[in-house]
């Protein structure tokens, strides 16, 4: 059984709704899918939505870091919202809060 990612484009912003369990297995399609979307749309900002995510490991961090680097190369940014307790601890351990901004909700992430 494979969780799927749901993508939502708002102007030049791409919102990626992350699955319930975010590990190596469930991450496999994300790279391909975002590359495809980014080749077709002009994206300057990625926002990760962790609202539904109960579990994330370092494979999830790898995905985030690579999308972050990709955005930075083009002068864009990557942020996230909806992180629960487990996701928050993992992001902190990986040093993500120094790179990406944390928001509580989609509205806050989109409109500050």
Partner 1 sequence: MNRKEKMKITMDGLSQNEEFARVVTAVFASRLNPTVEELEDVKLAVSEAVTNAIIHGYPDGAGEVEVCAEAEITEAGERILTVTVHDTGIGIPDVEQAMEPAFTTAPKGERSGLGFLFMKAFMDHVAVDSKVGEGTTVTMTKQIGRQDK
Q: How far is the CB of 67 from partner 1 (least distance, A)?
A: 10
Comparison of 32 and 111: residue with beta carbon closer to partner 1: 32
Q: Is 21 exposed, middle or buried (0-12, 13-18, 19+ CB in 10 A)?
A: middle
Contacts of 51 (CB under 8 A, 6+ apart): 17, 81, 82
Contacts of 58 (CB under 8 A, 6+ apart): 90, 94
Q: How far is the CB of 100 from partner 1 (least distance, A)?
A: 14
Q: How far is the CB of 27 from partner 1 (least distance, A)?
A: 8
Write out the residues near partner 1 by the rule CB under 8 A. Answer: 1, 21, 23-25, 27-28, 31, 55, 57-59, 61-63, 65-66, 85-86, 89-90, 93-94
Residue count (the chain): 112
Comparison of 22 and 43: residue with beta carbon closer to partner 1: 22
Query: Pairing mode, if any, of strands 21-22 and 6-10?
Result: unpaired
Comparison of 73 and 112: residue with beta carbon closer to partner 1: 73
Are residues 34 and 63 in contact, defined by beta-carbon separation less than 8 angstroms? no
Comparison of 84 and 102: residue with beta carbon closer to partner 1: 84
């Amino acid at each position: 059984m494979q969780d799927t990612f749901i993508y939502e484009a708002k102007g030049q912003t791409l919102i990626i709704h992350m699955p319930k369990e975010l590990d190596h297995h469930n991450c496999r399609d994300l790279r391909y899918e975002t590359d495809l979307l980014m080749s077709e749309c002009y994206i300057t900002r990625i926002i990760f939505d962790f609202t539904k995510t109960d579990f994330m490991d370092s494979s999830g961090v790898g995905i985030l870091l690579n999308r972050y680097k990709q955005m930075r190369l083009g002068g864009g940014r990557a942020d996230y919202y909806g992180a629960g307790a487990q996701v928050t601890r993992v992001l902190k351990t990986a040093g993500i809060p120094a790179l990406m901004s944390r928001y509580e909700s989609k509205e806050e992430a989109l409109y500050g």
